[in-house]
Every structure is written in structure tokens, then in C-alpha cells.
């Protein structure tokens, strides 16, 4: 694991924490004021953001990690000079 990997994981966890905090604040402060249809739409969108973003961030990290492993396994190119 490299420094960039740790940074990606920490930023993903930080953003997830902020999204969860924002969701709790929004539900406590504004949820009762919304019409039911709007509340349902917002609930679905928030769920997609809170659940989907960390999965997307970890998938990007995995792609980068696998690309580094693949590049490390390939032999260096030979010079014909």
C-alpha cells in the first residue's frame, strides 16, 4: 500500500463521515417541513450518495492498485541498440 492509497481511503472515510453528519442534521432540522413526495425523492438521492460515493472511491483506488501491480509484473522493455 502506498501513500496515495492511504490518502484515498482517508478522504473517502472523511467524505462519508461528512455526508452522514449532513444527513443527520438535515433529518433533524428540515425533514418535518418537507412534503412526503419530496422527502421520498430526497431520501433516495441521499441514500445513493452516502452508499455509492465510498464504493465508487474504493473502486477507483482498486483500479489504480491493480494497474500498478500489472505494471510491476511486466518485464522492462529491451533496447535493440
Helical ranges in 1-81 per DSSP H: 3-30, 36-73
Instruction: Give the pLDDT of residue 44.
Output: 92
Question: For the whole prediction, is pTM greater than 0.85?
Answer: no
- For residue 49, the number of C-alpha atoms closer than 13 Å in the C-beta half-sphere is 15
* pLDDT tens digits for range 25-74: 988 998 899 999 998 998 899 888 878 988 988 899 899 889 989 988 88
Closest listed residue to residue 56, CA positions, set 15, 26, 3, 4: 15
d(CA 54, CA 19): 11
Domains of the chain: which residue ranges? Answer: 3-71
Instruction: Give the pLDDT of residue 47.
Output: 86
Is the pLDDT higher at 4 or at 73?
Answer: 73
Average pLDDT over residues 8-36: 88
Amino acid at each position: 500500500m502506498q501513500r496515495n492509497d492511504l490518502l484515498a481511503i482517508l478522504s473517502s472515510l472523511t467524505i462519508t463521515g461528512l455526508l452522514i453528519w449532513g444527513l443527520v442534521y438535515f433529518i433533524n432540522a428540515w425533514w418535518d417541513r418537507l412534503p412526503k413526495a419530496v422527502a421520498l425523492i430526497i431520501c433516495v438521492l441521499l441514500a445513493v450518495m452516502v452508499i455509492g460515493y465510498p464504493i465508487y472511491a474504493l473502486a477507483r483506488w482498486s483500479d489504480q492498485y491493480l494497474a500498478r501491480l500489472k505494471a510491476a509484473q511486466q518485464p522492462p522493455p529491451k533496447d535493440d541498440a
